[in-house]
Structure formats: structure tokens, C-alpha cells
A and B are shown apart, each in its own frame.
Chain A
Amino acid sequence: MSTFKDADEVYAYIGKAMEACVSDPKFVEATKDGTLVVLIKQTDPESYILVDFPGQKVLVGDAAAAASSTVQLRMSSDNANRFWQGKLNFTLAMAQRKVKLDGKRTTAMGLLPLTGPIFETYKAILTEAGREDLLVG
């Protein structure tokens, strides 16, 4: 059984964390001159989040799926929930085929060390929404 009830929950929590991510000064600085647009395709429930770093905007759902991206990241919503709390080893997950990354991903991989503060933001979003059940111990 999935962590999230439906795609709307994914957008409400992970989508919101991504909105904080694109306006975070460290991410803005690291991506401002680039073309990094990441399409996060999640399974179970199926959902799409487009994170446009240079444009500092986030799209979700059909609009995200239809937009063009430079990097495509696939993972289950459960693993996304763990990843955005800093509880998923990305390299191990790739080796175990739990995560798939396609496209121009050098910049995307370079952003991994910057993700720390986003973990806290995501956990704060879950807590604020009363969804402690989604927090991974």
C-alpha cells in the first residue's frame, strides 16, 4: 500500500517542497545559468512534478507531464517520500533500480549535496499538515 492516498497528496507535500527548493538561494545560485528542468515521474500513485530551476517554477499533473524537461527522474512515491527526508541513499537506489535518472544529469547530481535543507523543509510541511505518519524514523 502506498504512502500517499492519491496524486493530490503528492503535489501538496512533495510539490510544495519543490516550490521551496526552486526559490532556495543555494539552488538559485547553482542553477541560474543552466537549463536544468527536472521532471519527477512518480509511481503508485502516478504523479508528475516538473521542477524548472532557471524559471524558478513548479508544475504538477498533466501540465508537468506535457512540459519539456532536461532530466527525468523516476521513482515510487514511497521512495520519493523517503528521499525528500534524507532517508534514501540515492546511489544505492540507482544501483538497485529503485530510481531511474535519464537525460542531462551532471548538474542534477551536482545538486544532491545541496538537498539537506530541503529535507527539513519537507518534514516541516508534513508536520504542519498533521501528516506525521509520513515521517520516516
Chain B
Amino acid sequence: MTESITEAEFDKVFAEAEKLSEFFREIGPKYDTENTFAYPSIEAFKKSGLGALPVPKQYGGMGGDLLATSKVVSELSKGDSAITLAYNMHYIMVGITMGLMSETQNKYWLGRVADGDIMFGPFSEQRAGFSGLADMKAIPQEGGGWRLYGKKTWGTLCEAADIITTNATITDADGNLPENFEDRVNAESFFIGEFQVDENGQGDGISIVKTWDALGMHATGTQTIVFDGYYVPEDGFICEWRSGAFGVLEWASLMFASIYLGMQSRILEESRAVLSKKTLGAVFGATVAADVKVSNVGHIIDGVGDMASRYELSRRVLYRTCTEVTEGYDDNWPMELRFPYIGLAKTFIADNVMHMSRHAMSMVGGSSFKKGAIFERLYRDSAASMFQPLNADQSRTFIGEQLLAPEELED
């Protein structure tokens, strides 16, 4: 049995997260405006030691479980959502790899993470995102190992990373993908390797192409990663990708949920700060009065109460889901629904954070719409919650389809 983080250890970790969150809060607006990765965050993140949180103690880490990691991610996100979404990639990939790697791989790679290295994992490709079977090829080499060829379009955190994980489909020696669907599923594989690029993003058979330009989450540095003969030795093979990922994707889903929970907390904090002090003076509109204090207006009172309720419900859903998965209660869910049921925490929180960011702007008024206002920033960033898989639409389809399917086997 792996030794978990103690309460006293977690208190220290959380205090460190609060400090780092404060730093992210200070630098976040600059990098949102400049639309670039927040480079000073690299040293600060490494210095905090927080990257080692989910690494089991036997590999030199802190032994933080899903819930402990979730709390830290939310705290950081409260400081700055985009910068934290970048480092969230590290937590996701550490969580996923540690459940799939061999003992030897865990000792080596997680040992490096415990010593401060940062891990990322580009998987999505242009054709069909995360759900698409990898078009990226892993061509077997004489003498062992593979060379990877292809393009990954969602390389969050690449500008800070030391270790890369990715998926590619093992081909024949001539680079032909398997023709049969089942063979192709079986050949799609999960790899880990060194990520070394120079200041221009150029490495040996791998490079960063700066393509990130989106509505929100500017500072994530979600660039395109081009593989052009990147070599992975045999010991960089982790497992067949889809079967492996099936059992560990909670690290993705619940960490994304943690990002948006942190944002809910920030929206509530900022809304209270403005709405508790704001006065309108004499007004003749929806309210007619000689001197109006916003905090006395009915829909504002209700609105803030609604926000706090949504935050608290979301927190409980996320914490409980982390606990149920960690303690094995997910065994009680239908097998086929495990992944979308875990994902309900994220889809629930996504709906709530988007509602809250919009409602906050409505309550605060037109000043919140101006560039540089924290509310327009949170509004843009919260929209990213629609995308990480499974999103709400996909989840409902997945669940409904399973529940309506006939009992008979499909043969």
C-alpha cells in the first residue's frame, strides 16, 4: 500500500500553493494581455516543489491523491486560471503515467518529476481531437525503438516542459498504418521521452510551432508540437493507449474540474468585492430611489447567494467524486459509464462557472466588459470549460446511449 500525504504535510503544501497562487495573480494579467506563456511562472513553480505533489512517496514525491491535488490546482487557479491550466497539464500527465508505467519507468520518470522536472502530454490532432485514433506514426527502427512523425495541436505547457508523453500509432517498417480498425486500436501506443528544445523551440526531431491564439486561456502556451523523426527508445513505450487510458482518465477530468472550481471561487470573490461596496446614488430605472447601495438590491443579494450556492455545490461534487474514485466506490457504477460519470463533476462545474462568469458581468455592470477587467477575463477563460473531453454534450450522449442499448451483446 502506498503511503499517502498526511494532513500536516498537506497543510504545508497548501500554504505553498497559496503563495504561488498569489504570484500567479500578480503576473497573470500581463501574460493574458501579451497573449504568451507566463515564463516567470516556470521558476516559481519549480521552486515551490508543488510539481511533486501527486508523485508517490516511494519515488520521492509527496503522495498526494486526487483530492489533495485537486485542492492545490483550485487554489492556484483562483490566482490565475490560464497559468494554472498550463501546469494542470503536468498534474494530469503525472497522474495518468504513474498508473500505467512499469516500476522501472516510474522510478526513473517520476523520480525526475520529484526532483523538479515538468511533464506535458500533447494528444489531440487536428482531425478529431482527443477522440481521434492517432494519425501520428511511430515507425519501428532497426535496432529498436521508434521514430515519431506527425503533429499534435494541443501542446499545453510545452514551453516549460522537460518530459513529453504522447500517443502515436505503431506502423509497419514502411510507415503504413494498420488498415483494420481493431488492429489500429491495438497499435495506438502511449510513449514517454525527453523534451529538449532550444530557445526557438527546435529540438532533435521535434519542435514547437507557436500557433496558440484563442478567445481565452492565453497564458497556457498551448502550441503545436511537430514530430519529425523524434526518436523514442524501447523503454519509452508505456502501453497500448486506449485500454491504458480507460482506467486513469480521472486525472484529466477531475483536474480540469479543479481549474474551474478555482475560477468559481475567484468570480465569487471579485463579485463580492465590487458589489458589497458599490453605490449608485440617485437612480430612476429598474430601481427608483434617492440613494441606492447595490448590496441592498434584491437581485444582487440573490445573485451573490446563488453564486455562493453554486460554488459550494460544485466543491462538494468535485471533492466527493475525488473521494469516491480514490476509495473505489466507482465500482458501484456501471462499467461502461465510469468515465462519463467521473466527468459529471467537470461538466457540472463547467456549466456553473460559465453561468457565474456571465452573471457576475451582468450584476457588476458595463465596467466589467472592458478589456483588463477581471470579469471579462474570467468570462473568456471560463469558456474553455466547454472543450476538455468529455464535454457536457458528449457525456449525455455517452450515458444515454449506454442506458438505451439493448441487453443483448452486439455480435
- Residues on A lying within 8 angstroms of B by beta carbon are 43-44, 74-76, 78-79, 89-92, 94-102, 104-106, 109, 112
Contacts and interface: CB of A to CB of B under 8 A. Distances in A.
A106 B248 CA distance: 12
Given A96-B410, A102-B335, A105-B335, A91 B243 contact: yes
Contacts of B186: 89
Contact of B411 (A92, A95, A98): A98
B335 A78 contact: no
Interface string B258-297: 0000000000000000000000000000000000000000
Contacts of A101: 335
27 contacts: A43-B411, A74-B409, A76-B411, A78-B411, A79-B411, A89-B182, A89-B185, A89-B240, A89-B242, A90-B243, A92-B242, A92-B243, A94-B335, A94-B336, A95-B336, A97-B405, A97-B409, A98-B410, A99-B409, A101-B335, A102-B334, A102-B335, A104-B331, A105-B335, A106-B330, A109-B247, A112-B243
A48 to B, nearest CB: 15
Interface residues of B, number: 18
Nearest to B332: A104
A113 to B, nearest CB: 9
Given A92-B185, A105-B331, A98 B409 contact: yes
B246 interface: yes
B335 A91 contact: no
A98 to B, nearest CB: 6
Contacts of A92: 182, 185, 242-243
Interface string B301-344: 00000000000000000000000000010110011100000000
Contacts of B330: 106
Interface of B: 182, 185-186, 240, 242-243, 246-247, 328, 330-331, 334-336, 405, 409-411
A74 B405 CA distance: 15
Nearest to A92: B185
B409 A76 contact: yes
Interface centre among A44, A75, A79, A92 (most CB of B within 10 A): A92
- A-B interface, 10 closest residue pairs, ranked by CB to CB distance from nearest: A91-B243, A97-B410, A76-B411, A101-B335, A106-B331, A92-B185, A91-B246, A104-B331, A89-B186, A89-B185
Nearest to A91: B243
A102 B240 CA distance: 24
B254 to A, nearest CB: 17
Contacts of A96: 410
Nearest to B335: A101
A128 to B, nearest CB: 28
Contacts of A89: 182, 185-186, 240, 242-243
B130 to A, nearest CB: 15
A91 B409 contact: no
Contacts of A44: 411
Contacts of A97: 405, 409-410
Interface centre among B182, B328, B331, B336 (most CB of A within 10 A): B331
Nearest to B401: A97
B328 A106 contact: yes
A81 to B, nearest CB: 13
A104 B332 CA distance: 7
A43 B410 CA distance: 11
Nearest to B181: A92
A78 to B, nearest CB: 7
B100 to A, nearest CB: 10
Interface centre among B243, B246, B335 (most CB of A within 10 A): B335
A75 B409 contact: yes
Nearest to A100: B409
B243 A43 contact: no
A109 to B, nearest CB: 6
A104 B333 CA distance: 9
Contacts of B334: 102
Contacts of B243: 89-92, 112
A91 B331 contact: no
A13 B185 CA distance: 28
B335 A43 contact: no
A95 B411 CA distance: 13
Contacts of B182: 89, 92
A46 to B, nearest CB: 12
Nearest to B328: A106
A61 to B, nearest CB: 20
A98 B410 CA distance: 5
A97 B403 CA distance: 12
